[in-house]
Amino acid sequence: MRKITLLLLFLLGFAVNSHSQCLQPDQYPNSIVVSNNLGTVQEIATCNYTLEYSVISNIQIGSDYIFTCTVLNDVTEKYVTVTDMSDNLIAEGPSPLTVSAITADEIKVNYSDDSSCAGTDSCHLTTLQLVLACPFPLNASVSNITTTSADFTWEAGGSETAWEVLLLPEGAPAPTAATSGTAVASPTFTANGLTQSEGYEFYVRANCGSDFSPWTLALPFNAACDPIGSFYENFDTATTPDLPTCWTALLRGAGLSQYAAIQTETFEVVHSSPNSVNMYNSDSTGDYDVILVSPSLSNLGAGTHRVKFWASGFSDLQIGTLDGFSSTATFNVLEEIAVTDTPTQYTVDFTSYTGADTYIGIRMNTTNTYSNLYIDDILWEVSPTCPDVTEVTVPVVGTDSATVNWVGSGTETAWQVAVGGANETNPNSLTPTPATSESAVVNGLTDNTVYNVWVRSMCAGGTDPGAWIGPFRFKTACLPVANFFEDFDSVTTPNLPDCWSTILRGPTVSDFARISTSTFNATQSAPNSVELYNSSSDTAGSDDIILVSPNLSTVGTGTHRLKFYAKNAGSLQLGTLDTNTNDAVFSLIEEVATTDQLTQYTVDFTSYSGADTYVAIRMNNSSTYTTVVLDNILWEVSPTCSDVTDVAVVATTTDGASVTWTGSGSENSWNIAVGAATVTDPSTLTFTTASSESAEIAGLTDNTNYRVWVRSVCAGNDNGAWIGPVPFKTACLPTANFTENFDTTATDTLPDCWSAILRGPTVSQYASVDVINFQTVQSAPNSVQLYNSSSDTAGADDIILVSPNVSTLSLGTYRLKFFASGQGSLQIGTLDSNTNAAVFSMIEEIATTDTVTEYKIDFTSYTGSDTYVAIRMNNSAQYTSLFIDNVTWEISPTCPDVTEIAVEGVTTTTAEVVWTSNGSETQWQVAYAPAPSTDPTTATIVSATTVSASLSGLTPATKYNLWVRSVCSGGTDPGAWIGPVSFNTLCLPVGLPYIEDFESATAPGLPLCGSVVNLGDGNEWIVTEDTFGANNAGFNSKTLTYNYDFASPADTWFFTGGITLQANVDYQISYRYGDNADDNYSEDLKVMAGTAQSADEMFIDIADYTGINSGAAINELVSFTVPTNGVYYFGFNAHSAANQYYIYVDDIMVDTALSTGGVTNDRFNYYPNPVKDYLNLTNTKNISSVTVYNLLGQRVLENDVNANNAKIDMSALSAGNYIVKVTADGMTKSIKVVKQ
């Protein structure tokens, strides 16, 4: 997040106090810039303010560097101050600043307008460059590229007079210092023996006599292609973002942005799918070229050809010629074209051109920045004397034919039509069909197949053909079907099923209007539905957005009807079409008004007797930017026996279900068909018959999904339509007890055998009862959210969480326990089933608050027959949520529950447990087991005769779960186990190096060996992962985070695990800290060390930061010593004022201080990082040994090296973070690496 600093007085004061050293408060970029040390100019940032600093790592100590700060797109130089990470001055001066024999391997580069430290909040280009003893050549370029040769030139980087050159195939490994090239004595070179169109990479390096410079970066180019006489290029076979072979992107000029590009992409379809060319200028200004260059042409100067292409976008263009395709080619403008955002075909005549150029160029021609120009379907062809036809359309398609129309020029009287497959690109290879009018019917086609069609004029009695115009794509109709049912669930979104199609047309229809399948709005059957979206289109007027059915043989028989589900407020028109093309004529049958409630609609077509063969569903919304959602569309015979209605499954058992419905009043029997959840056609099922409007279904399997249909049966075996499917699930086998914390359940679902009831006259479609992971109530990470949206939950609308089927509800011996939070009210009761027809009987009503509270509901007085426990939302306020967690159904004990369980005095192997008794009992039991154990009956049990117990023999660095229960009647009547309460045994102290990067934590929990103490009323430290604010500040993984409290100041400590340290030894602690970048808030952070994980035992001051608001991760390195040998802990204390923002801490590392020799002043390097197999280490002095530690401080690898280079085999180590300790010349350096 960029910061516009308005604290002018502060900055002026800072400048006065720091006149000789301009230190800036804000870091940008937020991440560390790694010096590439290639000797080239390396960009730090394109928009540094002269109020900021940058952090640069991988600096080679003892080398010379050049740093610059200039106004962006200008040459005005500013002022640079270079310091080490502790702000000790290294060098300062006007840009460009040369720093000789630099003394730190990680530095800060501060930018100001001048030596008085003034600053401006405008963009500046900042760079760094390693100064090489033998500088590499500059400005290498290629020219005069032919099919077999190319010329290269460059400039000397210093005083050298000899060079080596190297030409490699494209993609070959780059040369190394050991790679030899061809020696040359002048800064020119001609490469011969090239292969036409092949890619190459050119390298050159200086020969300084005693040393060579590095090889320059690769200069890529392609040998020229052999000239061709014609081409058609639609870019659809290119692999995005590459251009086709022999096409070139020419990007050049002083004002060219590094982000300018010419590439193929699928984002913007201009004419043919899927690809087009995107020409993008980014922030280019002034003198620059963005030119798409054609293949070499053999007849450009013949005066006989033209170019045709499609274009759209937000930049005008120039068509011209070029004498080559390299950066030195000359562009000559032939014609300028104004382009709009509507795809249009343009024709440019080259019959007057007789020059020597052999390439065509399409050049962006705009003064606007960040503009796109899209190009597609480029054709180079002979310019015909017979004029082109226009307006080619395919208004009618059949299963084996298509009608093609066009408009002639007015003089010709004959034409030809060529039709080929979807992959056909050359109409000259096809057998054309002659025509004597501006329309033709093409026969002999295959149903449901995509074709391309072209049309051309024929002059001079058929001897002078015009140009083929096309291709235009169409698809033949599917073979007609009599009936269909489509739920859209088997297609891949956003596609429509085969034989379905869309019509989007009209004078103002939006480019963003669409008809597509989606999983977002599943309505009747999951997962898919169809969305009709109008964007800005006038769908109540002359714009059409129409979903078109498959081809039907029964539209005109007067025997069928259409049934479908729809939701979202709007209007639909149901009708017929004579074809499924954009020329189709729509005939209205009926208009229906849709609502936000999912509703099934039935439209009768029995009065239609026309010739149309398609059914159409047309969007008719008067409002723009609206969506209507459709699902489960059925075309069926309209029965004479009336439909049943209100089909419902009112109760389920483990092996059956009760089904009810409402008959039409005339029939006296009905059929019921039940099938698996995958069945879609009830006619394939064996049905049963009922003589009343209900039926009992038997022989089902418990906890299984089914579908049921019902139809009426009238006299003379005249059956009605199958109505359904209505899905249901049989009950689970009853259970006596249950405990559910929802933590292993996928979000947006419920655990198996749990269910939800959402019903009522005004229940919202957005109401929900689901598992969520963003609100921890008791156990992490999940809980259940009951959300009412606009529902009247204090009235007639029900939002109910339903328990599994229980066998013990009517025994009068049980109770329900659960944790809840959220302001509102809950009703606890029973249900006779888990279906929407269930009857709710209330047992108790409780008021809930935002404070997490455990509730216990006594069911010992219940003796009814219900078998489900219900938790019903009873909030009077709308758009509210209640959260439920850790629900337990258990025997209600006669021995009272203990409360206030606490674990104190935890050591590495022991712990003290205390609790509060709530009765007269004198005995208790404590059960404990390593997490994730959840069953106290399988845990280790300790008996107690007082309200405390001592646990011993525990394992260090281990998480335990613990329960306590009372024991009455001399030990024969135990109470309920209360818990679990979790605690961690202390970790054993570790040696150096110590690192804590929080990656082992499960957010929001802490790492196992860390602890938090909150001494105030504000929030406490937690671990977060990839949050927006942290990412913006440069913390891109798991991070220790303090989140502000509106009313209370911060006073929370995070303590590391114990580290064994020795007196009078120089140590260093490093870490990153920062905030989330808001000028209105500032944070305070204190770092200390001490002998226990307690604020009272912190007595060594490390650092105290006040007013933190840079919005960036700040790297800190502090040296310290300890007074006596022992185990020490480091504490990070957030002590910001109330209502500030966020504090972040990460990558804590403690190690011995680095000496001035060994690997500190030497040129030390390591790669790769992350490492998969081998870690390479290099140093100018001998590396004596390398030791690898895991994050627990355990040594996992050790190598004796005694060489300048080391290759450490880490392939056998598991993936994760490691500390590599490198010893050279008696000194050490520790680095953190990631093993993949």
pLDDT digits (tens, 9 = 90+) for 460-500: 888 889 999 988 999 999 999 999 999 999 999 999 999 99
Read off the pLDDT band of 1078 (50, 70, 90).
low
Question: What pTM value is reported for the model?
Answer: 0.56
Q: Are residues 1037 and 1142 in the same domain?
A: yes
Read off the pLDDT band of 18 (50, 70, 90).
very low
Strands 1174-1189 and 1165-1167: antiparallel
Instruction: With a cut of 80, say whether residue 178 has pLDDT above it.
Output: yes
Read off the pLDDT band of 521 (50, 70, 90).
low
CATH of the domain at 725: 2.60.40.10
Instruction: With a cut of 80, say whether residue 1227 has pLDDT above it.
Output: no
Place of tokens 């439920």: 884
Q: Are residues 566 and 633 in the same domain?
A: yes
Q: Are residues 906 and 974 in the same domain?
A: yes
Q: Are residues 753 and 818 in the same domain?
A: yes
Quote the Cα angle for 736-737-740, to 5°.
145
| 1041 dihedral zone (left: phi>0; alpha: psi -120 to 50; beta) | beta
Q: Are residues 95 and 42 in the same domain?
A: yes
Determine the pLDDT at residue 910. 96
Determine the pLDDT at residue 625. 95
Are 769 and 815 within 8 A, CB to CB? Answer: no
Read off the pLDDT band of 545 (50, 70, 90).
very high
Look at residues 90, 110, 130 and tell me which one is the last residue of a structural domain: 130
Are 1123 and 1053 within 8 A, CB to CB? Answer: no
Q: Tell me if 2 is assigned to some domain.
A: no
Question: How many domains is the chain built from?
Answer: 10
Determine the pLDDT at residue 64. 93
Domain coverage including residue 1022: 994-1152
Q: Tell me if 956 is assigned to some domain.
A: yes
Determine the pLDDT at residue 755. 95
Instruction: With a cut of 50, say whether residue 11 has pLDDT above it.
Output: no
Q: Are residues 1110 and 1034 in the same domain?
A: yes
Q: Tell me if 776 is assigned to some domain.
A: yes
Element of type H or E holding 984: strand 978-984
Residue 959, C-beta contacts closer than 8 angstroms, at least 6 positions apart: 930, 931, 982, 983, 984, 1008
Determine the pLDDT at residue 282. 92
Determine the pLDDT at residue 1154. 53
The percentage of the chain sitting over the pLDDT mark of 90, rounded to a whole number, equals: 70
Q: Are residues 963 and 1003 in the same domain?
A: no
More confident residue, 1077 or 135: 135
Cα–Cα distance measured from residue 110 to residue 119, given in angstroms and rounded to the nearest whole number: 11
Which of 793, 722, 801 lies closest to 761 in space, CA to CA? 793
The encoded tokens of residue 874 equal: 């009873």
Question: Mean pLDDT in the chain?
Answer: 90
Residue 375, C-beta contacts closer than 8 angstroms, at least 6 positions apart: 270, 276, 277, 279, 292, 309, 310, 311, 362
Look at residues 360, 382, 404 and tell me which one is the last residue of a structural domain: 382
Instruction: Tell whether the torsion through CA atoms of 1205, 1209, 1215 and 1216 is positive or negative.
Output: negative
Instruction: Tell whether the torsion through CA atoms of 1149, 1154, 1159 and 1162 is positive or negative.
Output: positive
Q: CA separation (Å) from 1207 to 60, 179, 958, 1167, 1210?
A: 21, 22, 36, 10, 9
Instruction: With a cut of 80, say whether residue 1214 has pLDDT above it.
Output: yes
Instruction: With a cut of 90, say whether residue 770 has pLDDT above it.
Output: yes
Q: Are residues 439 and 300 in the same domain?
A: no
Question: Looking at 318-322, 553-557, 641-645, which range is the least confident one?
Answer: 641-645
User: Tens of pLDDT along 374-433?
Assistant: 999 999 999 998 999 999 999 999 999 999 999 998 788 899 999 999 989 889 999 999
Read off the pLDDT band of 1003 (50, 70, 90).
confident
Residue 920, C-beta contacts closer than 8 angstroms, at least 6 positions apart: none
Give the long-range contacts of residues 676-682, CB within 8 A, separation 24 or more. Answer: 676/705, 676/706, 676/707, 677/705, 677/706, 677/707, 677/727, 679/707, 679/725, 680/485, 680/487, 680/725, 681/485, 682/709, 682/711, 682/722, 682/724, 682/725
Quote the Cα angle for 518-520-523, to 5°.
85
Q: What is the mean pLDDT of residues 162-172?
A: 94
Q: How long a stretch of residues is the chain?
A: 1236
Instruction: With a cut of 70, say whether residue 294 has pLDDT above it.
Output: yes
Residues linked to residue 1185 through DSSP beta bridges, in sequence order: 1200, 1223
Q: Are residues 879 and 754 in the same domain?
A: yes
Determine the pLDDT at residue 350. 96
Q: What is the mean pLDDT of residues 1212-1232?
A: 79
Which of 999, 1044, 1048 lies closest to 1024 in space, CA to CA? 999
Instruction: With a cut of 60, say whether residue 633 has pLDDT above it.
Output: yes
Instruction: With a cut of 90, say whether residue 793 has pLDDT above it.
Output: yes
Determine the pLDDT at residue 1157. 41
Q: Are residues 766 and 684 in the same domain?
A: no
Instruction: With a cut of 80, say whether residue 363 has pLDDT above it.
Output: yes
Q: Tell me if 1141 is assigned to some domain.
A: yes
Place of tokens 């006989």: 304
Q: What is the mean pLDDT of residues 678-693?
A: 92
Read off the pLDDT band of 208 (50, 70, 90).
very high
Determine the pLDDT at residue 1161. 43
Question: Looking at 51-60, 244-253, 516-525, 734-743, which range is the least confident one?
Answer: 516-525
Determine the pLDDT at residue 1193. 64
Determine the pLDDT at residue 13. 35
Determine the pLDDT at residue 454. 96
Which of 203, 157, 158, 198 lies closest to 180 in space, CA to CA? 203
Look at residues 863, 891, 919 and tell me which one is the last residue of a structural domain: 891
Q: Tell me if 1159 is assigned to some domain.
A: no
Read off the pLDDT band of 7 (50, 70, 90).
very low
Q: Are residues 1104 and 1002 in the same domain?
A: yes
Q: Are residues 499 and 427 in the same domain?
A: no
Q: What is the mean pLDDT of residues 54-67?
A: 93
CATH of the domain at 246: 2.60.120.200
Cα–Cα distance measured from residue 1219 to residue 611, given in angstroms and rounded to the nearest whole number: 79
Place of tokens 């139809």: 711
Q: Tell me if 1157 is assigned to some domain.
A: no
Q: Tell me if 398 is assigned to some domain.
A: yes
Read off the pLDDT band of 17 (50, 70, 90).
very low
Cα–Cα distance measured from residue 59 to residue 90, given in angstroms and rounded to the nearest whole number: 13
Q: What is the mean pLDDT of residues 167-184?
A: 91
Instruction: With a cut of 70, say whether residue 95 has pLDDT above it.
Output: yes
Q: Tell me if 1160 is assigned to some domain.
A: no
Determine the pLDDT at residue 9. 30
